[in-house]
Structure 1
């Protein structure tokens, strides 16, 4: 069992959970934890993946907060505590990934003006995809960025091009806001959700605790429209010529044995970025690197801390 100096199942003292209104009036559930020092180290905006809630990352938030960082996060539109965009139970739906980017752009603008620098943006999985897309589109410009197991391709037997064609074929019939599958993190697999995410059972059970505490925040399978738009957005991002002109320094943590996202896609994108460092993990790491067993998690956090010390220095 993981031993942590922090309570992973309690909102920390001094943190605030509130509602933030996007420009179109949609309310997103947000987390804000100001630095507990008169001279803050800076500010981190951390964004999780598909179906995530920010409570899953309280342990790592504690780590950075102890170093003097202000920590901020929000649940993506249509998932977690930020409402649903379809009547299909807890299905995670989006009409266009551009909506995610627009929310990040507006939230980021307010966050930068209200928090101390340097400013660091981090994204896990789908959050890493949306963050990199926002960086290449120039709608966010932090001092440094960290992408953790970024969703730049998805793992599957058919490959990216065939997977996209199949999604369009199957999702294009009927209501595309319906769930693409019934359960688990990906269809047609015998792997359990726990094994796909982390080897650390205690940290996986933390997520179950939060699901039981706030059942309304649980997000189930994606809609077919989400799947179709994810393939489209990933393809366009992988082929974007703006990757080569995106100057924000990036640290990319990649799990080679990831069963959800395709690590090869990230490894193909990294050399295109002008200022990127790649850290790879082997079979010891599943998808949620920051919620893995201590040896993996500590290495990942150590790499991030070294990167921030070098590339997000306080002026």
Structure 2
């Protein structure tokens, strides 16, 4: 049964949004939603890829922003989070076996639903974990996605080299000793007070997002498991190989948050330099979740978005 969209007074669903479920090849279910364009001319479809521990409801505002620009907005809950199939008996754990599963799920949704049902051309707007999954899928999408905007992509966690090395070694050890489903970097989900949050400086949007999870606790997940951390590190290593980077032909706009304490901005800068078709913009003062930030930062983001998408239309598709 499809989990209905959760609306609150502060967070109504965009007009015309419909929610469905897609059966995946391995028997899991993916919940997805599509919002029709609310302005003319219609310019194609923007596919929104979430970060870790996010859900469709958190992107209602962004979906309205996209629709108002003449695009269809399509998005979905990754496997293991939101209202898509969970992967462990303890459904609260943030778990995945491999980021290849994320890429495969997206490709199946694209082929089965978006390509036949949504207007071309197609664009990707991806945040953090979603941006890493988008990069992993990019070589296979070269002739189908016109442009991609990646916000604060997960290319490394923030922190000292010793801390990052310790986390990776611990995740690898736990996974290979059969403890991959064990929590790492956190435990069961709990809502932090605004003063302790690391993702936004906007108290109103933060409260709005917390209200969603207070009303629908089943949409939230806790900290990542050792398997999730291991899978993320493996995906980063894969997309960083020169032969993989050479296969990324889709034009990219990469946007970093100047005050990000979640992912490494230095890693984002390094990665952008390896690409031949990427531009980097850093929004000074913004925290990790730029789309959940104050209007001052969101306006900077959308100014860059509008300058990049839809683009000239001269890309090879």
* TM-score in same-fold range (> 0.5): yes
**Is the CA contact 2:82–2:219 (under 8 Å) kept in the aligned structure 1?**
yes
What stretches of structure 2 of length at least 5 have no aligned partner? Answer: 1-8
> Partners of 1:25 and 1:184 in 2: how far apart?
26
Q: 1:14 to 1:114 in 2, by over 3 A?
A: same
- The residue number in structure 1 matching 2:157 is 154
Q: Which runs of 5+ in 1 are unaligned?
A: 1-6
Q: Structure 1, residues 84-108: CA drift from partner, whole Å, max 9, x if none?
A: 1112241111111111111011112
Q: Distance in 2 between matches of 1:152 and 1:308?
A: 23
Q: 1:87 aligns with which of 82, 86, 89?
A: 89
> Which residue pairs with 1:303 in the alignment?
304
Provide TM-score, normalisation by structure 2. 0.88
Choose which of 132, 144, 147 in structure 2 pairs with 1:144: 147
Q: Deviations over 1:5-54 (max 9, x none)?
A: xx751112210112112222311111111224675221110011011112
Q: Is the 8 A contact 1:164 1:231 kept in 2?
A: yes
Q: 1:119 aligns with which of 122, 145, 162?
A: 122
| SS of equivalent to 1:49 | coil
Give 3-state SS (helix, strand or coil) of 2:145's partner.
Answer: coil
CA distance in 2 between partners of 1:53 and 1:11 (Å) = 13
SS at match of 1:123: strand
Q: TM-score, normalised by structure 1?
A: 0.88
2:171 corresponds in structure 1 to 167
User: Superposition RMSD on alpha carbons, in Å?
Assistant: 2.6
Distance 1:26 1:312 in 2: 36
Distance 2:39 2:157 in 1: 41
Q: Which residue of 2 aligns with 1:67?
A: 69
Matched, 1:234 2:251: no
Aligned mates of 1:140, 1:85 — CA distance in 2? 32
Whether the aligned pair in 2 keeps the contact of 1:249 and 1:311 (CA below 8 Å) is no
CA shift for structure 1 position 262:
1.0
Contact 1:146 1:304 in 2 (8 A): yes
Shift in Å, 1:156: 2.6
Do 1:122 and 1:131's aligned partners in 2 also have CA atoms closer than 8 Å? no
Deviates more, 1:94-103 or 1:162-171: 162-171
Aligned to 1:4: none
Kindly indicate whether the alpha-carbon contact (under 8 Å) linking 2:186 and 2:224 is maintained by their aligned counterparts in 1: no
| Count of aligned positions | 304
* Cα distance in structure 1, aligned partners of 2:93 and 2:64: 30
Tell me the equivalent position of 1:3.
none
2:78 corresponds to: 76
